[in-house]
Amino acid sequence: MKAITVEPKKSSSTRWEDVPEPDAREGSVLVEAVAVGVCGTDVEIAEGKYGWAPPGHARLVLGHESLGRVLDPGPSSGLQRGDLVVGIVRRPDPVPCPNCAVGEWDMCRNGQYTERGIKEIHGFMSERWRIEPEYAVKVDPSLGILGVLLEPMTVIAKALEQVVMVGRRSFWEAETVLVTGAGPIGLLAACGARLFGKEVHVLDRVETGPKPDLVGALGATYHSGSVADLPLEPDAIIECTGVGSVIADSFQKIASGGVVCLTGVGQGGRSGYAVADVSAKVVLKNNVIVGSVNANKRHWYKASQALARADRAWLSRLITRREKPEEFRKALERTPDDIKVVIQFSEA
């Protein structure tokens, strides 16, 4: 079969090439790839900045935002041939740490977890892949190719849960939610917060293109410009840009008692704020700043429920481009109007 592979930490090493059929030890469920979403992590791995091949291998099969169709459910999965499934990305560390021991691999404390398509396990950008039954999530069949949005939605399911859980420390419920960044994660965050019935605002740099319309179609309000200039004090901010100035402004803008949840991974960035001044505001307003990454099985379940409830026509507008696997280079390039680019292996 063919797969999109990369030699981690080596730029321009990505290839669409022949590889062996998936090893039976990778799981008893055999799946035919339908589509794989491309995200910033894939681009970083392809650029040689990140990623680890499986032990004893030089190359890694790329891809972690999967969608596939079951070819062989194996003896004990409860799945049927033809079911649409998505593969969970992270596996617990082998020690395991206390969190991995109780199934909270998203909160792994020793960093020895592995991740499909990222860290030491082959990903999903191959014509066929295998998965352990307990890591295969069945997708509502009516979603079709939109099931490829499940993995990014799990990031949001966890982030929103974190905000709600932190909020339980006092008499508090978020009414107004600000999402910074209108990429796939930001738009899915806005969609999720609207499903909870919140007043939602989304801020992004662009003033034209599909993003303002997509936000409006959710019944949310779109803003461009800076967080500092917004005419509102959000109770919760879901930060999805990883941009220093946006993050710094978010700490200033959050309402008293409010929660800032950071989901973006960026670097650098300076702000005009002095650290102790920021801290003083956080103290005096009882704010919480919480980081959130990855997702465990509970979040995968919640995300699949949320995706099944979301408007199909709206979700379909998030997939702005579909490329064939042999055109992977095009898929790894960003154009200004791209939201989610997927590599399509077969019809959903």
User: Among 28-36, 108-116, 142-150, 264-272, which window interacts with Zn ion (CB under 5 A)?
Assistant: 108-116
CB of 94 to Zn ion, least distance (A): 9
42 lies in the site for Zn ion, by CB under 5 A: no
Closer to Zn ion by Cβ: residue 108 or 262: 108
User: Among 27-35, 107-115, 170-178, 193-201, which window interacts with Zn ion (CB under 5 A)?
Assistant: 107-115
202 lies in the site for Zn ion, by CB under 5 A: no
156 lies in the site for Zn ion, by CB under 5 A: no
Beta strands per DSSP E along the chain: 2-6, 15-18, 29-38, 60-61, 65-72, 84-87, 90-91, 114-116, 120-121, 128-131, 136-138, 176-180, 199-203, 221-223, 236-239, 259-262, 288-291, 319-323, 340-344
Distance CA 250, CA 258 (A): 11
CB of 108 to Zn ion, least distance (A): 3
Helices (H) and strands (E) in the chain, counts: 10, 19
322 bridge partner residues:
342
User: Among 60-68, 87-95, 212-220, 304-312, which window interacts with Zn ion (CB under 5 A)?
Assistant: 87-95
Per the structure block, which two tokens stand in for 71? 């070819």
User: Among 9-17, 43-51, 102-110, 173-181, which window interacts with Zn ion (CB under 5 A)?
Assistant: 102-110
CB of 236 to Zn ion, least distance (A): 28
CB atoms within 10 A of CB 341: 21
Q: Give the angle 216-290-304 at the CA atoms, nearest 5°.
A: 55
Closer to Zn ion by Cβ: residue 100 or 236: 100
Distance CA 209, CA 121 (A): 37
342 lies in the site for Zn ion, by CB under 5 A: no
100 lies in the site for Zn ion, by CB under 5 A: yes
CB of 135 to Zn ion, least distance (A): 16
93 lies in the site for Zn ion, by CB under 5 A: yes
Q: Where are the alpha helices (DSSP H) in 117-172?
A: 150-167
CB atoms within 10 A of CB 287: 18
CB of 101 to Zn ion, least distance (A): 8
Of the residues 36, 97, 288, 310, which one makes contact with Zn ion according to CB under 5 A: 97
Total of residues contacting Zn ion (CB under 5 A): 4
CB of 243 to Zn ion, least distance (A): 30
CB of 107 to Zn ion, least distance (A): 8
**Do residues 157 and 299 make contact, with C-beta atoms less than 8 angstroms apart?**
yes
User: Among 47-55, 89-97, 272-280, 334-342, which window interacts with Zn ion (CB under 5 A)?
Assistant: 89-97
CB of 93 to Zn ion, least distance (A): 4
Given the DSSP bridges, would you call strands 60-61 and 2-6 parallel, antiparallel or unpaired?
A: antiparallel
Closer to Zn ion by Cβ: residue 93 or 115: 93
261 lies in the site for Zn ion, by CB under 5 A: no
CA nearest to 83, candidates 92, 96, 74: 74
91 lies in the site for Zn ion, by CB under 5 A: no
Of the residues 86, 108, 150, 315, which one makes contact with Zn ion according to CB under 5 A: 108
CB of 54 to Zn ion, least distance (A): 19
Contacts of residue 11, Cβ cutoff 8 Å, sequence gap at least 6 = 46, 47, 48, 49
153 lies in the site for Zn ion, by CB under 5 A: no
Closer to Zn ion by Cβ: residue 112 or 245: 112
Task: Check the CA dihedral 208-213-218-219 and report its sign.
Answer: positive
What is 322-334 written as a DSSP string? EE-GGGHHHHTS-
Specify burial of residue 169 (Cβ count, 10 A radius: 0-12, 13-18, 19+): exposed
137 lies in the site for Zn ion, by CB under 5 A: no
Closer to Zn ion by Cβ: residue 108 or 166: 108
Give me the residues that bind Zn ion (CB under 5 A), please: 93, 97, 100, 108
